Every structure is written in structure tokens, then in C-alpha cells.
A and B are shown apart, each in its own frame.
Chain A
Amino acid sequence: MSAVATAVRNVTVRGNRRTRAGAAILATLILIALLAPVLAPHDPNAIDPNRILAGPDLSHPFGSDALGRDVFSRVLFAYRVSLAVAIGSVLLALAVGIPLGLLAGYYGGPIDSLLMRPVDLLLALPALLLALSLISVIGPGTWVALFAIAVIYLPIMARVVRSSVLRVVNEDYVAGAGARGVTRMGVMVRHVLPNSLGPSLVQASVLMGFAIQIEAALSFLGLGAQPPTPSLGLMLADGYQVLQQAPWADIFPGLAIAIAVLAFILIGDGMRAHFDPHGVSR
């Protein structure tokens, strides 16, 4: 827990301007997402025949879509899905990737090959294609998208952790701990792990940003979140259909995606100098 507290402190107090800006945006977005039911002026699914393709006004700041639904409210609720999938998928990738990378990097040799070879095979396909392949088997949906993105990110996280561990393992304090009689497991968990996490935090942040884009892309293709679940990608697909008559239905959801991605990237970039000075992450 102290590691988490230190991390938070690093980001908020010692973090540079980028991290703070990104964190501020992200915090706002998370807040918005959590409070969507309270903040939304209208029911996101409420169809209003009188307001079909109506433009933005005071009570509908983002205008209305082809079914007369309030775009602003829909964006607020869609954020829940996007953020949940983005954060959830990366956390899942971390949960599996950290132990994998840790063991592979620490023990090396045949264990390294055994663990990393299958993981590396996942890298043989372009990310989106891998996600689509999985979806083609399991079927579309929000949870499937989350799982698919986690699978895409697993090899990346495992590699980052592994590279970081390889670097840390050669440090003197690790040898020192071993010399003091700490067990291999103990050295690995108490000394190597905490010091290797830096780059993976940076990577996680950047990947969360890209996860938002992937989730949006999948939904845009009709293979992610399914209606009636509101999703930014789905809104973009619908908005594109009415692009000329109601550009706001396309512009605002897209802007919403861009801002969320921006927040994560800023956080990751800002953290890079402190957490990943050796440039292990991508």
C-alpha cells in the first residue's frame, strides 16, 4: 500500500506539469463518469421525436442525434463504458503480465523462454486484428472487448516488466539482499518487484489511452459495446450517418474520445522522466 501512496504522491506532488494536467483531466472524466446519472440533464436512452437531429442549445449542449436523444447525456454515460474498459483491460493485462515478466526476467534461462515464447506469439498479429479474431469467436460485446484488449496488451506489459526486471536484477542491492540470506522469492517480491514497476506504470498509462481508442474502434465497427449500451464508438458510427445534417452528433463523441486519450497520454509522458528514465516502455 505504501507503494501506491508513494506513487500517488509522486504523481500529484512531484509530478511535472504534464502529469498534473493529465491527472486533472482524468480525475474530472472519472468523476463525470461516476456521477453520470446525477449530471446528465436527460435520460440517455430517451427518444424524442421532436428533437431529431436538433442542434445544440442550452438544455442540450451537444445537440441531439438521429433518434432525438441528447448527445451530452449519452456522452456522459458512454464515458463509463469507455473508461471502465480502458482501465479494466490494462489492469487485467498487468495482473497477468507482471507475474509473467517478473518470473521470466528474474529466473531467466529456460523459464524465460517457456513463459515468453507463447506470449510473444501474440505479438505476431496486429493488435486490432487479434481483438477482432477473438471477437469473431466469442461474439461482440463490452466484456469481450475488455478481454480482447487485455489479451493484446498482455505481451507488451510482460515484456516491459521483464526488461525492467533484467535491469534491476543486476543492481547491487539485489545481490546484497541475496547475500544477506533473503530467499529468492523474497528477493524477487520485496526488492526486484517494487523497483521494476516504474516503467510498467508509464506503459500502463499510455496503454489505457490507446485502449480507449481500440474500444471506440471496436464499437465503431459494431463489434464492441452493443446497443442499448451507450458507447462513444457507437455514437460516432451513428453520427457519421447523419454527418451533414447534424455534425455535432459526430464531433462531440469524437472530441470526448480524444480528451480521454489525451489525459492518459499526458500522465504517462509526464511520469516518464521519473519512473522510466531508461526508456524501457514504449
Chain B
Amino acid sequence: MSAPLLALDGVSVDFGPVSAVCDVSLEVSEGEIFGLVGESGCGKTTLAMAVMGLLPATAAVRGAIRFEGDDVLTRSEADRRKLRGDRISMVFQDPRAALDPAFPVGEQVAETIRAHRSVTRRAAREEAIRLLGEVGIPAAAERYRDPPHRLSGGMQQRVVIATALANEPSLLIADEPTTALDVTIQAQILGLIRELRDRHRTTVVLIAHDLGVVAELCDRAGVLYAGQLMEVAPVERIFAAPQHPYTKALLAALPTRAAARGALPVAAGGVPDLADAPPGCRFAPRCPVRMDACAEVPPPVLSEPGHATSCWYAAQRGAPA
């Protein structure tokens, strides 16, 4: 098995007393689409920003983030900036907020190209037009000059994706790229991402809170809760044979036709206060199969080829059902 493109090793992110991400370890292989799932505020975006190196100065990051074998946390800011937009790119949730309202959309793609490659303005412009066409923007040469607000949300997101892929990065982090868009556009954008992955062999980390999106697009997925990684497995296994109680609760809460009658099952309780989190598993207070050790001691990782679960209960039960 070749070395993973991205490897997180015991990554923790603290904002003062608040522990936003706690001891997350996972690997993303080249060419796969990895889904990072969890509810709002669980630390998905923080983790992504840590990989990109875009956290504010108040954030303290521990652990190792290895990209192509090299721990980026030990690199200088200048080096990390060179990686951004070139080898690692990010797509944000709200395209309206991502684009500079004062500049033409084409120019925003072109400047990304010029920032990392020494090309003439004309060459960058032509490349930008080509990219805009590739992401499905009609009449790209004319739309080049449009300011962002003349484009619909879906079109704007395509521009953002074009910008992200301008320099053929090895890794693309897509942070809830469709959440701010209409459902019909969602499908288009997701399709676009898959298509681009196929064509350019880009590795994608897709952050989502919608399990449906993950099921549709991802090869493997990791489940995050309150900054802790609960379970990682190929997507089919997550849905068919989830091992972690939180994953099971997430799936159970999905409205399906079978459970259309009656109330949706809800996990009682709320997300813990991250400034005062217990040392053990953070889902413990709400876990239906909680044991005494759970809140106090960090659970072991029960792992099988490709499937890791961080849970005392699962560990006790041994091999998965």
C-alpha cells in the first residue's frame, strides 16, 4: 500500500481553554474521496483550516499533519503559503462570501495561476477561461469579466472550484460545498467534483453534515463528534455495519420511509462544553451504551483493515456484528 497523501497524527487544536479538535488521527489515500462527517460545531472546519494553515494566531495546534510525507506543521509560513492554492486547495461553504466582490471572476481564477506559476498575464487569462469552461460555465470568455454578484450561487461555486483546481492540486478540501446552494444545484456541483476527481486524479476531502451527500460521493468516511474522531470506515460499511454508538445514532436519525411514522429517534442531551471537556470519550454523556470508563479514559481504537472505531463498548464486544 502506498504512503497516504494526507496523514493526521494525533492532531489537536485548542483556542485557549476550548478544545476544538482532540487527538484526531486519520489517513487519506491518493485518489480517494474521503468524507468528514459531523454535526455543526464538531470541529470539521477547524480541522480543515489546520491542514491549510489558515487558523488564527490564537489557535494552538499539536500533533503532526503529514502531506506527501512531510509534516507541514514544522514548515514556515512562507512554505505553507506556497502549498496553498497550488498543492492543497480549499473550497468554502458560501461562494458569495468567498469571492472578492470588487474583482471580475475570471481575474480571480487567473491571479491564482499567476501566484504560483510564472506565466504571462495573457497565458493566465486564457488558462482561466479554459478552467471556467471546464467547470461548466457557459460563454466563459464573456463571463470572465463579470463581477461575482452577476452570477448565481451555483455559478459562483463553480468559479470557486475552478480557482481551487487552477494549479492541479494533489489535495482538494471541500468544506460543505453545497450547503448554501439549492438542492438541484447541489447534485450538479457534487457531480462536478466527482468528474474533476476522475479526470485529474485529485484527492478530495469532502466535509459534510449531510450523510446523504457522503453516501453519494465518498469512498471512505470519518465521523467526528465534538472534536473527536469516532469512527472511520469505507462508506458502505459505515452505512451497513456501523460500530460506534454515535454513528448508529446519526444513521437512526435519518428519515427513511420505513420510519416515516412516529418521531425521529433523538440522542438525548447536547454537545459538551468544549472549554471543559472530559478526558475520555465526549459522546459518553449521551451514549445509550455508556460504561463507567468511557468519560474518564480515552477509548482504545478497535481497528480492522480499513475500519477503525474509537469506543470502549465496541472494543469490549470484540469483532463487529
A contacting B, Cβ–Cβ less than 8 Å: no
Residues on A facing B (Cβ under 8 Å)? none
B residues adjacent to A (C-beta < 8 A)? none
